Structure 1
Amino acid sequence: MTTIQCISPIDGSVYAEREAASFETAKAAIARGRAAQKDWARRPLEERVQLVLKGVARLNEMVDEVVPELAWQMGRPVKYGGEFKGFNERSNYVATIAADALKPMIVEESDRFERRIAREPHGVVFVIAPWNYPYMTAINTIAPALMAGNVVVIKHASQTLLVGERMVRAFNEAGVPQEVFQNLFLDHDTTSALIAARSFDFINFTGSVEGGRSIERAAAGTFTGLGLELGGKDPGYVMEDADLEAAVDTLMDGATYNSGQCCCGIERIYVHESLYDAFVEKSVAWVSNYKLGNPLDPETSLGPMANKRFARTVREQIADAKARGARALVDPALFPADDGQGTYVAPQILVDVDHTMPFMRDETFGPAVGIMKVSSDEEALALMNDSPYGLTASLWTKDSERAGRIGAEIETGTVFMNRADYLDPALCWTGVKETGRGGALSIIGFQNLTRPKSYHLKKVTA
């Protein structure tokens, strides 16, 4: 039997471990869910919605347990209070649109014909959730999937081993039947085997590009629907008319919050030459105010990265960029917790960077960002599109028409103006290129978690 462990980034200890389910055990659990799905879907929509909201409320009651657990599992400082703001916002919003999103599309309703397109749940939805925002990313699919009448099986990343278990406990205690929402501990081989065996009707995966490829390979030939949110290298572009203070504050937070481990975190910034020097100077000052340390300390504002191997990637990218001529501007002496070996990584800003450096093209997923000077929109646009990824782009200007024109040319899933690193639940969360496919939240999210079913009813007339 395989044992799955969560190694805490705080001190390298084994914080939690669970036995992975065998293929047969997992298949039996999924079969119980499938047997319960139609009864769940027959419940009135409003009943399903309210049970999901009760599950959300029950999880909120566990805040004193959840927040320190997150610190131990993946390193986010307790001072930030967990993920409840976004978790609640997303859940509450999809609850308000569920009825409209799932209502039939009426084509004809006459004395001769009834023609409509209904939305029908897929059946068993499999959520493979990541460790960086383990509650918020999971709820993006779980809440609308359950509301739409699906049953949900969640498998969480080993780094946040306890999150799926806790979410299921909260929802079950709130009245969602145990068969309808289940947590499974699975290793990679068993996960792939279950997918290949057509155990699921829809799969949502958030994680690495390689992880997405593995999911696609496992699902090949099964015709199982997939939603994939994978890598990112999100750009920011600061134009000459930008609000400089606001741009620095938002973009630096977007680059370094959660130790830079954000799906839509800012990883590269292009600044118009007229603001470049001031932007860089203010950014270095902003980042230098962090306190790096133990995330259980309420004074800590920057915790460790989730795993040593993630920290190693960041350090290697920075070292490579410096060897190619980049300059690091943040004084490492300000962050004694960073010993250069472990999970505690000081924030860093690099200049004199270019796109020959992996640091400016490959996903970093850490508290480090490169800043380049540009002289025109055309130059910035070419650089923003010079990436294998496309999740979000952040544009800074007072001119919304200009932002719209530039945004239309950016190869990305979301265009922000004067904000960054945010997920709006009313909009579709989606990506292009190697960032993946499909879309979560909004009405489109409900559509992806259901399938269309057409009714053409010819009425008998005398």
Structure 2
Amino acid sequence: MVQKSTVVVVSPATLQPLFEVPCATPADIDAAVAKAEQGFASWRKVPVAERVAILQKFCTLFEQKKAQVGETIVSQMGRPVRYAAGEVGGVLERANYMISVAEESLADEVIESTDAVHRFLRKEPLGPVFIIAAWNYPYLTMVNNVVPALLAGNAVLLKQSPQTPKCADLFVETFHQAGVPEQVVQVMHTDDNGADYLVRHQGIQYVSFTGSVAVGKTIRQSIGNAERLIGLGMELGGKDPAYVLADADLDFAAENIVDGAFFNSGQCCCSIERCYVHSDVYESFLQKAVAIAQNYKLGDPSDPETTMGPMAHVRFADKVRAQIAEAVVKGAKLLVQTDRYFPNDKPGTTYVGPQIITDVTHDMTVMQEETFGPVLVVIPVHSDKEAVELMNDSTYGLTASIWTQDADKALEIGNQIECGTWFMNRCDYIDPALAWVGAKDSGLGFSMSKHGFDQFIRPKSYHLRLKQ
């Protein structure tokens, strides 16, 4: 009998073990894939309208679980309780949009229909798909792909990060309560070896991954090594820039950019990590941003007064501190007095206070690698040309934003920026009606929008000659 490995989930707040989760063995995985294949055979025949009704019920049930959702987020990844249940609203916004456009998006596309010829495209589901979600927004990174995959008629095997496994349990339990058959959507608790086994499994017809660039590239290599001709969608990291023009509303820009940098302790793929500010308003912007940063309350995520909780793991906090330390050695300046405002920010802990850094250069790690923590680098620029060059000086390209009153200039500059989403006067937001896509190392494929179903279907062409 194969001994099961386990994942030990540690509290980000206390660094004490919370619980253990047994990991699926290869035999368990084989059985789950077989169940998914059986479930797919029947689920694909369910009319889209019926799938829509079932997922509408899912939304109703999920909304009723705000307290449970909040508890799983606070305990497993450390988001402050005052924000934790807010993820429910995001799930409902995205799910309801995809549900609302499902029948239109998945309908046959008729090319020609006459007495002589009938030509059309039918959108067929792929089969069992393996979806790997991320811990930083556990429910939002699940809903982006699980909902369209199910609506399109696929069976889903869902793996959540080992940091937040019970989020997947609650999510899938709600689908089952809504009427999605248990064989059609299953949670897979696995270690890295089990995940690799699933990626290579002959029964899996598509893989969707949300996470780091390094792991994404490993998954792509695993699929290639297994000589599998299946699709792969990846939503990876970011080093997202903002550009503040001289005509921007500085109070509004500072408030939103700081929030976009520090919300969720900066643990967001599309958080603002680089901020370029026109030299005419640079000093004024800095003053406003620092004042906002100093007002955060870093502490226990279960305390309603806390506005910034711990990072999800000590190794994430260590990475942030290492980037800051290297920048300082190379001449960077720290503007937030951590010891004064955030005394619980100490080495070896998960607590990292918000930091604003100036006097940086693009050869510093903090400007090249994803930080994924509460750090905002602010750099003065003297022209739009300089800003564009610096914004594009990154291997990432998820989102970018401009802060100005001039929409024409926003579009002109946006056309030059290498990114998947371009914002004017906002940031850190996924609009479910728009494609969520990354350029360069920030991703492969996309989710959301009417086209978000495309990754989970295979068009099949029908050409019927009715008269000979």
Do the two structures share a fold, i.e. TM-score over 0.5? Answer: yes
- More deviation, 260-269/80-89: 80-89
Contact 2:111/2:120 (8 A) holds in 1: yes
How many angstroms does 1:33 deviate by?
1.1
- The separation in 2 between residues aligned to 1:159 and 1:230, in whole angstroms, is 18
Equivalent in the alignment of 1:75: 78
- Corresponding position: 1:228 with 2:234: yes
> Does 2:422 match 1:415?
yes
Query: How far off its partner does 1:47 sit?
Result: 1.1
Three-state SS of the structure 1 residue aligned to 2:450 is helix
Q: Structure 2: which amino acid aligns with 1:459?
A: L
Distance in structure 1 (CA, Å) of the matches to 2:13 and 2:386: 42
Q: CA deviation at 1:38?
A: 2.6
Correspondence 1:202 to 2:186: no
**What secondary structure sits across from 2:101 in the alignment?**
helix
Instruction: Tell me whether 1:253 sits opposite 2:256 in the alignment.
Output: no
Give deviations 1:162-198, integer Å, cap 9, x for gaps: 1111111111112111001100111111211222232
1:241 corresponding residue in structure 2:
247
> Is the 8 Å Cα contact of residues 355 and 374 (structure 2) preserved in structure 1?
yes
Secondary structure at 2:388 match in 1: helix
* Aligned equivalent of 2:93, options 83, 89, 95: 89
Aligned match of 2:409: 402
Q: Can you list the C-alpha shifts for 1:115-138, whole angstroms capped at 9, x where unaligned?
A: 011111111121100000000111
What SS is found at the alignment partner of 2:164? helix
In structure 1, the residue matched to 2:396 is: 389
Match of 1:274 in 2: 280
Q: Is the 8 A contact 2:69 2:88 kept in 1?
A: no
Partner of 1:430: 437
* Contact 2:326 2:364 survives alignment (8 Å): yes
Cα shift at 1:160: 0.5
Q: Which residue of 1 aligns with 2:374?
A: 367
- Using the alignment, how far apart are the partners of 1:98 and 1:78 within structure 2? 34
Residue of 39, 43, 49 corresponding to 1:40: 43
Greater Cα offset, 294-303 or 44-53 = 44-53
Q: Indicate the residue corresponding to 1:160 in structure 2.
A: 164
Number of the residue aligned with 1:329: 335
Cα offset for 1:14?
1.2
Q: Counterpart of 2:9?
A: 6
For 2:300, give the aligned amino acid: N
Q: 2:133 aligns with which of 129, 135, 141?
A: 129
> What is residue 352 of structure 1 aligned with on the other side?
359
Unpaired stretches in structure 1, ≥5 consecutive residues = none
Residues 1:148 and 2:155 aligned together:
no
The match for 1:65 is 68
For residue 14 of structure 2, give the secondary structure of its aligned residue in structure 1.
Answer: coil
8 Å CA contact 1:16–1:161 kept in 2: the answer is no
TM-score by length of 1: 0.98
Residues 193, 218 of structure 1: 8 Å contact kept: no
* Paired letter, 2:346: D
Aligned positions, number: 461
In 2, distance between residues paired with 1:345 and 1:285? 17
- Comparing 43-52 with 368-377, greater Cα deviation is found at 43-52
Q: For 2:325, what is the secondary structure of its paired residue?
A: helix
Name the aligned partner's letter for residue 309 of structure 2.
G
Q: Which residue of 2 is the match for residue 99 of structure 1?
A: 103
**Amino acid paired to 2:327:** A
Q: Distance in 2 between matches of 1:231 and 1:338?
A: 25
- How many Å separate the matches in 1 of 2:43 and 2:181? 9
Per-residue CA distance 1:5-42 (angstroms, 9 max, x = gap)? 11110101111211101111111111111111131121
Distance 1:340 1:328 in 2: 17
Residue 398 of structure 1 aligns to a residue whose secondary structure is coil
Give the residue type in structure 1 aligned to 2:80.
P
Separation (CA, whole Å) in 2 of partners of 1:128 and 1:344: 27
Q: What is the aligned partner in structure 1 of residue 350 from structure 2? A: 343
2:214 match: secondary structure: helix
The whole-number CA distance in structure 2 between the counterparts of 1:50 and 1:294 is 40
Contact 2:115 2:467 in 1 (8 A): no
Contact 1:17 1:161 survives alignment (8 Å)? no
The 2-side partners of 1:356 and 1:121 are apart by: 46
- Structure 2 residue aligned with 1:111, among 91, 102, 115? 115
CA contact (8 A) 2:73 2:84 kept: no
> Is the partner of 2:138 in helix, strand or coil?
coil
Residue 350 of structure 1 aligns to a residue whose secondary structure is strand
User: Offset of 1:460 from its aligned partner?
Assistant: 3.6
**C-alpha separation in 2, matches of 1:67 and 1:305:** 16
Distance in 2, matches of 1:347 and 1:95, equals: 38
Q: Is the 8 A contact 1:37 1:149 kept in 2?
A: yes
Partner Cα distance (2:318, 2:75) in 1: 20
Verify the 8 A CA contact 2:9 2:163 in the aligned structure 1: yes
Paired residue secondary structure (2:345): coil
Deviation per CA, 1:182-216: give whole Å up to 9, x if none: 00111111211222232311111000111101110
Post-superposition offset of 1:284: 0.2
TM-score normalised according to structure 2 size: 0.97
**Partners of 1:398 and 1:241 in 2: how far apart?**
6
* C-alpha RMSD of the superposition: 1.0
Q: Deviations over 1:29-60 (max 9, x none)?
A: 11111111131121121210121121232222
Letter matched to residue 292 of structure 1: L
Equivalent residue letter for 2:450: I
Q: 2:299 aligns with which of 262, 270, 293?
A: 293
Aligned mate of 2:34, from 31, 43, 48: 31
> SS of the counterpart of 2:163?
helix
